[in-house]
Amino acid sequence: MMMRLALGLALSLLAVAARAEVQIQQVTSPGGIHAWLVEEHSIPFTALEIRMRPGAAVDEPGKRGAINLMVALLEEGSAGIDARAFAEAREALAASYGFDVGDDSVSISANMLTENRDAAVDLLRQALVEPRFDQDAIDRVRGQVLSIIQSDSVDPDAIAASTYYATAFAGHPYGTDQNGTVESVQSLTRDDMLAAHRAVLTRQEVYVGAVGDITPAELGALLDHLLGDLPADGPDMPAHVDYTLPAGTDVIGFDTPQSVVLFSQRGIARDDPRYFAASILNTVLGDGMESRLMQSVREERGLTYGIGTFLVPRDMSEAILGSFASSNASVAEAIGLVQEEWARIATEGITQEELDFAKTYMTGEYPLRFDGNGQIASILVGMQMIHLPPDYVIHRNDYVNAVTLEEVNRVASEIYDAEGLHFFVVGRPEGLQ
């Protein structure tokens, strides 16, 4: 208990520091691009985070994997320079770029020194506006994607996840892998890359976070130069899909000494007023070494090395997920314990001590997320994408602390459904069909 109290005090002091340091300014460029900025001029360095909706979910029929492959090609040459020359130019500027994609959005990250900022932005603009899509680069990166697909086909965790998505979201883009299939990726052409680029690299729904040695006026000019020549519109996001997966257990046979288990039930949207209570409940049930599931399944019975649960509020659907691995001989017992703890939190709720510890943990770890310009820029973008106000960073811990025991236990009875749990088991489990 003394260690818990010491940890709580240290984390609370960090929370106060984080509130004082993050001052968010809202910026609108002359061209109308909105951004959030945290100025920090003590180091001549700027981090930039950009996200655009939609993402890989708008792949054309029969072209699954096109947007994923296109995004992976953005650093493989632009305008008049090939992949090698692009990499050399980036290294000479001491700049770094990151390009990523999910079904919901495309992410662009950049870190640059103030003295090289203009040149670094010019190079990044080339990648976004004038990608080359040379055939040799397409073939090389296609091979890398195919290798990932092949590796996932024999990875128990990937098999469990793909089976879950295909079952829970059949007929929706969430139901298929954004990497595509061997067949779809092999058939992709350069024209498909151009079409994918036109579909998702747009100004239709763009979010920007910037942190570092840059003023609002400088950021506005930078954004117009960087993004102003991208198309103004693009395809709409696919429709929302309700989680309708019924309770059950799917066993996917796989020769391995231990089974991998992924389990799920319907979730809760990020803008639901019960979300803070749900986050506290998840911390108590399945987040961290002190959680009920870790204590029950690992510490008391030694059935797994680790087990965790997660709230997953995606743009087009919501779920609560959990996962663990256990020996084939003990996995059925572990699943039974998960069902017991799920039912217990729904019917009994949590204790005041558990509530206090969860609040201390959640409010204390929050400032640890603000560790560096890049992480802060990413947080700024994430806040915008779920429509949080700039002062959320100041009041977030107040929202957590405002949740009462009565409220959290009411929410537990409303959202946790032991009778609705669905388990996906990859392995040769004993005692399960």
- Report in angstroms the alpha-carbon separations of 108 from 8, 139, 221, 323, 394: 35, 23, 18, 30, 26
H runs (alpha helix) in 228-368: 275-286, 292-293, 331-348, 352-365
Give which of 167, 164, 161, 313 is closest to 240, Cα–Cα. Answer: 313
Give the pLDDT confidence of 368-425 residue by residue, as tens digits.
Answer: 999 899 999 999 999 999 999 999 999 999 999 999 999 999 999 999 999 999 999 9
Give the pLDDT confidence of 288-304 residue by residue, as tens digits.
Answer: 999 999 999 999 999 99
Model confidence at 239, pLDDT cuts 50, 70, 90, reads very high
Q: What is the pLDDT at residue 22?
A: 83
How far is it, in rounded angstroms, from Cα 96 to Cα 113?
Answer: 10
- Maximum distance among all alpha carbons in the chain? 65
CATH number for the domain running over 23-227:
3.30.830.10
Residues in a beta bridge with 252: 426
CATH number for the domain running over 248-427:
3.30.830.10
Contact between 145 and 65 under an 8 Å Cβ cutoff? The reply is yes
Higher-pLDDT residue of 431 and 353 is 353
Give which of 337, 321, 343 is closest to 163, Cα–Cα. Answer: 321
Residues in a beta bridge with 209: 36, 49
Contact between 159 and 153 under an 8 Å Cβ cutoff? The reply is yes
> In the block, which residue shows the tokens 């493989």?
76
Residue type, 17: A
Contact between 70 and 19 under an 8 Å Cβ cutoff? The reply is no
At 392, which helix (H) or strand (E)? helix 392-401
Q: What is the pLDDT at residue 51?
A: 98
Contacts 24+ apart (CB under 8 A), 17-26: 17/367, 18/366, 18/367, 18/370, 18/393, 19/367, 19/393, 19/394, 19/397, 21/370, 22/370, 22/376, 22/393, 24/380, 24/390, 24/391, 24/393, 25/216, 26/390
At 18, which helix (H) or strand (E)? helix 2-21
Mean pLDDT rounded to a whole number for the chain: 94
Q: Which of 21-30, 64-73, 136-145 has the lowest mean pLDDT?
A: 21-30
Model confidence at 10, pLDDT cuts 50, 70, 90, reads very low
pLDDT at 244 over 60: yes
Cα angle value 224/226/231 (rounded, 5°)? 80
Model confidence at 6, pLDDT cuts 50, 70, 90, reads very low
H runs (alpha helix) in 274-330: 275-286, 292-293
Give the pLDDT confidence of 11-21 residue by residue, as tens digits.
Answer: 333 333 444 46
How much is the average pLDDT of 238-261?
A: 96
Region of 247 (left: φ > 0; alpha: ψ -120 to 50; beta: rest) is: beta
Lookup: tokens for 336: 């039974």
Where do the structural domains in the chain lie, given as residue ranges? 23-227, 248-427
Q: What is the pLDDT at residue 432?
A: 87
Q: Which residues are CB-contacts of 411 (< 8 A; sequence separation ≥ 6)? A: 274, 277, 278, 281
Give the pLDDT confidence of 183-193 residue by residue, as tens digits.
Answer: 999 999 999 99
Does a cis peptide bond (omega within 30 degrees of 0) precede residue 54?
A: yes
Are 23-227 and 248-427 the same fold in CATH? yes
Model's pTM, two decimal places?
Answer: 0.92
Give the pLDDT confidence of 311-353 residue by residue, as tens digits.
Answer: 999 999 999 999 999 999 999 999 999 999 999 999 999 999 9
Model confidence at 28, pLDDT cuts 50, 70, 90, reads very high
Q: What is the pLDDT at residue 423?
A: 98
Lookup: tokens for 74: 């953005």
Residues of the chain with pLDDT > 70, as a percent, come to 95
pLDDT at 85 over 80: yes
Contact between 129 and 140 under an 8 Å Cβ cutoff? The reply is no
How far is it, in rounded angstroms, from Cα 162 to Cα 157?
Answer: 9
Contact between 121 and 155 under an 8 Å Cβ cutoff? The reply is no
Give the pLDDT confidence of 117-172 residue by residue, as tens digits.
Answer: 999 999 999 999 999 999 999 999 999 999 999 999 999 999 999 999 999 999 99
Lookup: tokens for 397: 């811990």
Model confidence at 9, pLDDT cuts 50, 70, 90, reads very low
Model confidence at 218, pLDDT cuts 50, 70, 90, reads very high
How far is it, in rounded angstroms, from Cα 337 to Cα 163?
Answer: 23
Chain-centroid distance, C-alpha 353 = 30
Rg (CA), the chain: 23
Q: What is the pLDDT at residue 4?
A: 38
